[in-house]
Amino acid sequence: MKKIIHKIHKKEGFEIFAACDKELIGQTISDESYSVKVSEFFYGTEAITEKALEKALKEATNANLIGEKVVKIALKSGLIKEKNIIKIGSTPHVQIYRI
């Protein structure tokens, strides 16, 4: 079962790969410092496998990830370090930029 949702945003040569845990779609994740609406508009509706997510993250120039599953895959793949992860409430979130 595919439990990861993703979308690729492209505009004027700039690309952002967005992915989240499927169960977060439609929720607003917040704490005293941050509030993030996990919307279909930004994170998409298309399911992706863990293996395809790992491949896409290795190829992406920029990525926005939210949720336990997607952040764990990025961490396991060596694309981020634990110190790169912020928590919004109890939900992990990370952004990856390659310049």
pLDDT tens-digit series, residues 38-74: 999 999 999 999 999 999 999 998 999 999 999 999 9
pTM (2 d.p.): 0.92
Question: Crossing angle for the helix pair 68-76 and 50-59, nearest 10 degrees?
Answer: 60
Q: Provide the greatest CA pair distance for the chain.
A: 35
Asked if pLDDT for residue 98 goes beyond 90, the answer is no
